[in-house]
Amino acid sequence: MRIAVIGTGYVGLVSGACFSEFGVEVCCVDKDAGKIERLRRGEIPIYEPGLDDLVAKNTRAGRLSFTTDLAEAVRGVDAVFIAVGTPTRRGDGHADLSYVYAAAEEVALALDPARYTVIVTKSTVPVGTGREVARIVRKARPELDFDVCSNPEFLREGSAIEDFMRPDRVVIGTDSDRARAVMRGLYRPLFLIETPMVMTSLETSELTKYAANTFLAAKITFINEIADLCERVGADVHDVAKGIGLDGRIGKKFLHPGPGYGGSCFPKDTLALVKTAQDFGAPLRIIEAVVDVNDRRKKAMAERVVAACGGSVAGKRVGVLGVTFKPNTDDMRDAPALDIVPALQAAGATVSAYDPAGMHEAERLLPGVEWAKDAYAALEGADCALVLTEWNEFRALDLRRVAKLLRAPVLVDLRNVYDPEAAEMAGLEYSCVGRCSRLGKPAAPVQVREPVQA
Ligand code: UDX
């Protein structure tokens, strides 16, 4: 089988490489000639473990190619995957679909009317986009033999290849049996591992993707608020998460508390679904609250650092470990660091920082930060160490050495990487999220309030 993938961003490149690994002949298209040139040389523009090897192997095997010429790429294909960006539109929070629609029109003009083709939306697109793509294509080329299909991705950055190769499910939304058969053919290797295929309508598939991401965002936000409550009442959020997560109806995953979710998907998708729901007169009040709580949380995190530093960071140095929105990525999009670091600087702190992969991108986004060559260098002479991303290499730090390097032995761990007891045994004043120290001190500043009388 043959496919073309339009857009070599995160989704397009991972999907293209993985389909070629399935044995499909894949041509990836991008308007950015420099990027295509680099991809042809085997240079991967994003940080994704295993992607370089996969691209190299399948390019060598002749199954994966890259071009700027869309017309050439779509010649003789069974399906065209549209995987261009859908950023948040400035001003109103809706997803900006101009790239998707422009790609649809370009594809329409290039397709061969003598050959049936499935046009697949792979980007996360609001309900109704597939129908609009079909309308655009039909208008541009009424003679074309095509169907539109929605096939959302559920890839996590950092484990995208594993998520593609061994997914929990594949969702395929189309009204056409012919399109369904083509899609089944493309995902054939997944039948061997008995991956569930959810065959449904265009609209259902489009909504499923948003429902999945907003549900996960809500789950994280729930445990974050429970963590705050744990701090007030002296409970341990990890035990609460375990205690509820073992209930199969709730599930163990995505119950890790932290500074608030970030990344390229959750902030954008929660906002877009809130807008869609309002437009259709069925507001999603839970998700509206999730968006609001998460925004406030990220902004409020700097206050924890200020409190841990004795009420002020003016003239102090904060050593930050990790700035990306999560580990195993260089992605800074909506990272909590983008709220927390400027707030600390505004409060008078000097910030030194280290991140294993994100510093290049972060340099532009976080002016005034002193970038260090490793974790220990970022902490040298600091009045506080602050963990913002749970990179594995930070888990293995020698905490006694950290305590010695710091001017004041304060460690604020917003990802709960360390064992509170071990941190305190190393001589650190340790605070984290939703846990009290086993040595009896509260994990984070506690405000004692009188219980409200009924
Ligand atoms: C997410 C979805 O998981 C994926 O299915 C979708 O296709 C794209 O969006 P991604 O953005 O790569 O993937 O990251 P994910 O691992 O889901 O984490 C998102 C954010 O939530 C990160 O900031 C992470 O730190 C935070 N998070 C995640 C928590 O704070 N606690 C958790 O328990 C899990």
Closest to 415 (Cα-Cα) out of 322, 339, 314: 322
For atom 15 of ligand 1, the residue with the nearest CA is 156
Q: Please tell me the least confidently modeled range out of 14-18, 362-366, 383-387, 441-445.
A: 441-445
Residue 326, ligand 1, Cβ within 6 A: yes
- In whole angstroms, give the CA distance from residue 338 to residue 360: 14
Q: Which residues contact 159 (CB under 8 A, 6 or more apart)?
A: 49, 328
Written as one string, the DSSP assignment of 271-308 is HHHHHHHHHTT---HHHHHHHHHHHHHHHHHHHHHHHH
263 lines ligand 1 (CB under 6 A): yes
What is the per-residue pLDDT for 446?
Answer: 44
Angle between helices 237-245 and 202-233 (to 10 degrees): 140
Task: Give the ligand 1 atom nearest the CA of 254.
Answer: 33
Active site residues: 265
- Atom 27 (ligand 1) nearest CA: 261
Give residue-wise pLDDT tens across range 417-433: 999 999 999 999 999 99
To which residue do tokens 């397009």 refer?
12
Question: Which residue in the block uniquely carries the two structure tokens 């939304």?
Answer: 173
Provide the whole-model pTM.
Answer: 0.93
Ligand 1 atom closest to 329 (CA): 12
- For residue range 328-367, list pLDDT tens digits in order: 999 999 999 999 999 999 999 999 999 999 999 999 999 9
Domains assigned to the chain: 2-200 (3.40.50.720), 235-431 (3.40.50.720)
Strand-pairing partners, residue 386, are: 320, 412
DSSP per residue, 322-386: --SSSSS----TT-THHHHHHHHHHTT-EEEEE-TTTHHHHHHHSTTPEE-SSHHHHHTT-SEEE
Please determine, for residue 20, whether its predicted confidence score (pLDDT) is greater than 70.
Answer: yes
**Alpha-carbon gap, residue 9 to 5, rounded angstroms:** 10
DSSP annotation string for 191-235:
HHTT--EEEE-HHHHHHHHHHHHHHHHHHHHHHHHHHHHHHHHT-
φ/ψ (deg, to 5) at 88: -70, 130
- C-beta separation of 263 from 333 below 8 A: yes
Looking at residue 252, its pLDDT comes to 97
Rounded to an integer, what distance in angstroms lies between the CA atom of residue 27 and that of residue 362? 32
Ligand 1 mean position to 117 CA, how many Å?
Answer: 33
378-394 per-position pLDDT tens digit = 999 999 999 999 999 99
Token pair recorded at residue 389:
């991303």
Long-range interactions of 369-372: CB distance < 8 A, separation 24+: 369/320, 369/341, 372/319
- Cα–Cα dist 286/226, whole Å: 16
Answer yes or no: is the C-beta of 163 below 6 A from any ligand 1 atom: no
Regarding the beta carbon of 155 and ligand 1, being less than 6 Å apart is answered yes
**Given a cut of 60, is residue 452 above it in pLDDT?**
no
